[in-house]
Amino acid sequence: MRVPETNLREFRERGFSVVEGFLSAEELEEAQEALWLHYPRPEEYFANPEAYPKFGESQFSGLLLFPYKSWALNRLAFHPDLVEMAERLIGTDELHLYKVELWAKYAGAIDYTQNHHYDYGNHSIVVPRADGKWPQITTFILLSDVSEVDGPTKLVPREFTKDLDLYPYRLEPGIFKEEEVAATAPAGSMLIYETSVVHRGSDFGAPGRSRFALLADFQARGLPWTGKMAWPNRALDANWADVMARTSVRERDLFGFPPPGHEYWNEQTLRDVGLRYPGMDVTPYRR
């Protein structure tokens, strides 16, 4: 679904927006089924939580880094409507997809409550520009329903934080409890926000609940002071070659793959990249 301009306007004004119905029913169903290649189904987890102790080690124990075992999940990170939205918000098609994570949470595994904070702390070695130049955009594609009892992300509209210093990036507990907005929405929806927005994670409000989401973050290319993941560090993953072979030239570009016409390409690199990724059509890079 193409993200409506009303959501982009809300994002610019408040710093965040929830886009309902972002995924089609088929895309959502395929992605949900692919989750169980990586995580226990909720009924399996809650039948015997002690069998899955890792989810109780940290709030972030359910995080898995890209790539994944299913194309249905991998393709969400560069969904064409997601990329098109990022281009409109950031104001350029020179984009860098700088982080992709899959996140599972199960009620009772651990307390998921967080203090209000900015995300830029581990997305940048400096601080964001207050005028909005060079934004970093975080997206949560919700793969399960998120109600008030499902640990929704809680965000503070910019009108309440516009005079707040950007440092420290972790704030006093409960400081914006009255102003925060819970990002609740049905599965297939998407939350978008900037790393300069005050927000927090919340805990589940009922037993037997679970939450799954894919997170994909975008910024303009060529910002050496920002980022989070180094894709070459993930390139030895067993699923990486499949992703590179199945993506388009434009989609590879989001990861920093040398584009057609770049001086990197010559007969040697064309041959050897073809050997590294046997399923990839290297013809476009011969230009």
**Tokens at residue 236, please?**
């030895």
* Positive or negative torsion for Cα 165, 166, 171, 174: positive
> 257 lies in a domain?
no
Summarised one tens digit per residue, pLDDT across range 124-143 is 999 999 999 999 999 999 99
> 251 lies in a domain?
no
Closest CA to 254 of 70, 100, 89, 73: 100
Q: What is the pLDDT of residue 14?
A: 97
- 196 vs 194: CA distance, rounded Å: 5
Q: What is the pLDDT of residue 278?
A: 95
Residues spanned by the domain of 224: 5-229
- Walk along the chain (287 residues) and give the pLDDT tens digit of each residue: 999 999 999 999 999 999 999 999 999 999 999 999 999 999 999 999 999 999 999 999 999 999 999 999 999 999 999 999 999 999 999 999 999 999 999 999 999 999 999 999 999 999 999 999 999 999 999 999 999 999 999 999 999 999 999 999 999 888 999 999 999 999 999 999 999 999 999 999 999 999 999 999 999 999 999 999 999 999 999 999 999 999 999 999 999 999 999 999 999 999 999 999 999 999 999 97
What is the CATH number for 214?
2.60.120.620
- 182 vs 274: CA distance, rounded Å: 47
Q: What is the pLDDT of residue 184?
A: 98
- 285 vs 249: CA distance, rounded Å: 9
Residue 39 phi, psi dihedral angles, 5° rounding:
-130, 155
| Alpha carbon separation from 104 to 99, 185, 267 (Å, rounded) | 16, 17, 44
> 245 lies in a domain?
no
> 80 lies in a domain?
yes
Q: What is the pLDDT of residue 3?
A: 98
> 250 lies in a domain?
no
Residue 246 phi, psi dihedral angles, 5° rounding:
-95, -15
> 263 lies in a domain?
no
Summarised one tens digit per residue, pLDDT across range 145-190 is 999 999 999 999 999 999 999 999 999 888 999 999 999 999 999 9
For 274, counting Cβ atoms within 10 Å of its Cβ (0-12 exposed, 13-18 middle, 19+ buried), the class is middle
Q: What is the pLDDT of residue 173?
A: 80
- 95 vs 110: CA distance, rounded Å: 36
> 44 lies in a domain?
yes
Contact 81, 216 (CB under 8 A): no
Q: What is the pLDDT of residue 174?
A: 82
> 272 lies in a domain?
no
Number of structural domains in the chain: 1
